Amino acid sequence: MVSGKINEIMGRNPRKVLDKSECYLLYEAGLFGNKALTWNSYNEIMESGWKGGICMRSKKGVARKEVRYDLDLREVPCQIKQFENLGIPENMIGFNQSMPNRNLLLQGEIMFYNGGLYLFYSNVKKPMNLALAEKSFIAEEDHVKEILFENLTPESQGDLEKLLSNFPTSVVEFSTYSIPVGNMADKNRNTVFWEVRNY
């Protein structure tokens, strides 16, 4: 079932990600490349031995703005109950490691637009939604390439180029740090990719 849906998405021409559930499916399958460490339940977090901070976000379409940042592990069960009170069961919550915001270089959304690269970004050292709301910039074409070259490791630049090539009509959402991060940190990645979407 899952592999059939992935094949359907990847077989589109041009390739598009049409809703949040499709995005999560590809994300969790590792098809966007480097990502934050993720779990699907509190039990999975505990079994992994993770002791750091946790972010929680709703995977449910209309409630996807429900996000909790930088939680202590002990706060997670209470937050799960709060999500459930909002009609969001635990199986519709995504859990990921808290990212090192103090090390943020830039984050935002990039896409092809009018034949060139278009970047909407922030360098505020906060979670993306908060950072973009506080202070954001727009860059286009060659300026985008300069920004990426100055901030992304060569490996992360290659990952981004591959995503934009594989999803040429999509928006790619990413965060870049001054240190290696994510499940491919040991491979010199300093950028994680959160979403690839056409919605």
Structural domain spans, the chain:
20-35+101-197, 38-97
- Residue 44 above 90 pLDDT? yes
The C-alpha atoms of residue 187 and residue 155 are separated, in whole angstroms, by 8
What percentage of the chain carries pLDDT values higher than 90?
A: 89
Write down the pTM of the prediction: 0.88
- Residue 97 above 90 pLDDT? yes
> pLDDT of 134-191, one tens digit each?
999 999 999 999 999 999 999 999 999 999 999 999 999 999 999 999 999 999 999 9
What does the pLDDT read at residue 65?
Answer: 72
Long-range contacts of 161-166 (CB under 8 A, 24+ apart): 162/33, 163/32, 163/33, 163/193, 163/196, 164/110, 164/111, 164/112, 164/117, 166/15
Enumerate residues 6+ apart whose C-beta is below 8 A from 169: 14, 15, 16, 111, 112, 198
- Residue 62 above 90 pLDDT? no
pLDDT, mean of residues 5-33: 94
What is the pLDDT of the chain when averaged over all its residues? 94
Confidence of residue 61 (pLDDT cuts 50, 70, 90): low
